[in-house]
Structure 1
Amino acid sequence: MEENAARERQFPGILLDQTPAGYVRLLERQFAEAFWCEYAVCGISARLARNEEQRFRENLTSRLNDARTHAREAIRSYRTHRDVERVLQEVGGAALEPLRIASYLFGHLDGTSDEECDVAAELQAADPIFVAAIGELVSQMRLLWNRRGAWETHDDMLVLGRTAFALIRVCGVHARMAERISASHSLPTPM
């Protein structure tokens, strides 16, 4: 509530804003809200919940284990059902859940220490595309946190949603602002 209240004070009405923004923009905002809120809340409450770190780590490891496999299976399934919203939801769910859980973990870690931990070192055994995406996301959230209360617009947070779409794209689904969604004909190769 503290984080939402701070954003509402800075940008009155933003949390209930129902302005039509287009499908992709709406998803960018939803993704950004999810990542930011988890990061901020865990950072704020970290010193009160020190025993949560191991649970966050285990949850992230679990989500990372088969994320790319689940995304590939969703794309294979798309080739049969041809439902673009379904493939976006399925690939997005598989790809973005690790980012959401990483938001918990790194919010917590950043909230318990005055020094920022190295994201790549925390994710040594993970799939490189997820390590890169989580590293980018955490870097963006840290910048936003350091500028909290001084954002020029609420849309400063949308960079988090764009990172989400970049990962979905690397996993093989491409969504453009023109509202068109397509699944790749070939699966991405590891970075």
Structure 2
Amino acid sequence: MESRDVNVFEMFVAHGAGFWVRRTTWVGTCARVVRVGAMTAPGPYFGNPSVLMDVYTLDGQLTDEAAQLPAAGTYKTWRQIEPPVWAVSANLRQLEDPALDAALARFDKKRHKSDSRQGADKVEKIWLVVTYAQKEEAKKLGARWSPTEKAWWLPASNSAAIDEARKLPFLSG
């Protein structure tokens, strides 16, 4: 069942929580995806939600619970695998476990810490269309990167920068 050319988010959409993955660099472990945060955008990245996994040795020993699965958006890092033979008789975590909600909230808070520290959630944002090649120009205007939206933005109060962004053109209209 090795999956190719799909990321963990797409695996979740296809199978729901409870599927098994293996990182391409792992030798002696596998993981069960137990929770995925809110998907706030279209695929294939779905707004880059947090993903939680329980990690096991290949013989079924739990090594890490509700761990954050890194790089979930890349298809080169993770492969979906068949459930290990021992999983049928193992005492696996219930997918409805409320502890997963708390763990997900902790990871989400941690991931968004830089935005909230700067009060970015309270600032009205003007979203920009900036290519990777243009990002240095956007930074010079004072644009900031939103890791959750995967887009550049300017504070609505910075009218001079917004005018300049229209000229470049990072804004239409």
| TM-score, structure 1 as length reference | 0.21
Structure with larger Rg: 2
The structure carrying a bigger helix percent of its residues is: 1
The structure carrying a bigger strand percent of its residues is: 2
Looking at both structures, which has the greater relative contact order when contacts are Cα pairs under 8 Å and sequence separation is at least 6? 1
| TM-score, structure 2 as length reference | 0.22
